[in-house]
Amino acid sequence: MDRRNALKLMGASLAAVAMAGCAPRTHAAILKDRAAGKKRLVFYFTATGNSLFVARQFSDAPLSIPQELKKGKQTYEADEIGFVFPDYASGAPVIVQEFLAKNTFKAPYIFSIITFGNASAIVAEWVRDYAKEKGVNFNYINTILMVDNYLPVFDMNEQVKIDKHVDENLAKLLEDVGAQKNYVQAMVQEPGMPAFSKDMLKGMQDQHYNMTAERLLELKKDRCVECMTCEKVCPHKNFSLGNDGLQFAGKCEFCLACVHACPQKALTLKSMNPQWPGERNPEARYRNPNVSLMDIIKSNRQ
């Protein structure tokens, strides 16, 4: 390089440094730096958009786990592989467990970001141990607090008012993964929450992981217009139209995508027993404001 070009390069570099010092870096710049010379694959599962929103911060083109499962057994290779999904009963959704178990993942650096809304408890350690049994060794597992869409416990109108500092926490996660930090979050004991025991966790997971659509859901027939939005967002294709209108049955992910997405609020949760209240507010639903209904349909439709 001649002296003139060297000076031009130096000037451009100094200008970039000066600009970085006086203005926040754009998301595009962060992605460019992060991806420089490296291949990163990011897989996600989402029901109301939180995990898709997070996955998009780590990749320009994150891959939907329900769609990838259609391809059968695969071997994925990259410099970095990431997984973004919600915390279900302090573990991974069944569909994520299936994806980890069925496929092979080869990368020097494997990470996971787990979205949660109330208490992360031991989810990071649980995912680490489950994945290790399936031959997937994580370098980094961390969580991020977001709107909790769990309708039996939370009123969505109240949840969306809470500042959960998503941007600040996300910036820290991006920094960690960008630096290929090695870390697995230890058990988090939330103030005012009961201590989690293995028996308590097993009871929660048995209830969550063995759900069926007919056991969970109730249809308000006077509201249903048979638009089939529920069918489009369901990762298990549990919905169909019959002679008596909308029908649903089969293994349920308990993701609540169908309930949250129904434009008529025609789907609600059953009240099964005194410990299972149904819903806090059947008239309140949620979708991440940065994610469209079509995004969720493309992610989950079977």
Segment-wise mean pLDDT, segments of 10 residues, the chain, 302 residues: 41 36 42 70 99 98 99 98 96 97 99 90 92 98 96 95 96 98 84 64 76 95 98 98 95 97 97 76 97 99 97
Q: How many helices (H) and strands (E) does the chain have?
A: 13, 12
pTM of full prediction above 0.75: yes
Angle value at C-alpha 197, between 257 and 149, nearest 5 degrees? 20
Q: Which two tokens stand for residue 36?
A: 């420089």
| pLDDT for residue 191 | 61
| pLDDT for residue 206 | 75
In the chain, the largest separation of any two C-alpha atoms, in whole Å, equals 80
For 17-70, how does the pLDDT look when each residue is reduced to its tens digit (9 = 90+)? 333 333 333 455 455 555 567 999 999 999 999 999 999 999 999 999 999 999
Q: Where are the beta strands (DSSP E) in 51-158?
A: 63-64, 75-77, 80-86, 104-106, 109-116, 140-145
Contacts of 120 (CB under 8 A, 6+ apart): 87, 90, 114, 143, 145, 185, 188
| pLDDT for residue 118 | 80
Q: Which two tokens stand for residue 269?
A: 């949760």
| Integer Cα distance of 69 and 231 in angstroms | 18
Place of tokens 């970039």: 16
In the chain the domains, ranked by start, together with CATH numbers, are 38-202 (3.40.50.360), 210-300 (3.30.70.20)
Sheet arrangement for strand 140-145: 63-64, 40-44, 80-86, 109-116, 140-145, 183-184
Q: Which two tokens stand for residue 61?
A: 């083109």
Neighbours of 52 (CB within 10 A): 24
| pLDDT for residue 31 | 56
Place of tokens 């083109």: 61
Q: Report the DSSP pairing between strands 267-269 and 217-219.
A: antiparallel
> Residue type at 114?
I
| pLDDT for residue 202 | 72
| pLDDT for residue 2 | 46
Taking the CA atoms of the chain, what radius of gyration do you get in angstroms? Answer: 21
| Integer Cα distance of 128 and 123 in angstroms | 9
The stretches of the chain forming alpha helices (DSSP H) are 3-22, 27-35, 50-58, 65-69, 94-102, 123-133, 156-159, 166-178, 198-209, 213-216, 229-233, 257-261, 293-300
DSSP 302: -
| pLDDT for residue 198 | 65
Contacts of 48 (CB under 8 A, 6+ apart): 147, 149, 256, 257, 260, 286, 287, 288, 291, 296
Q: Which two tokens stand for residue 298?
A: 């493309």
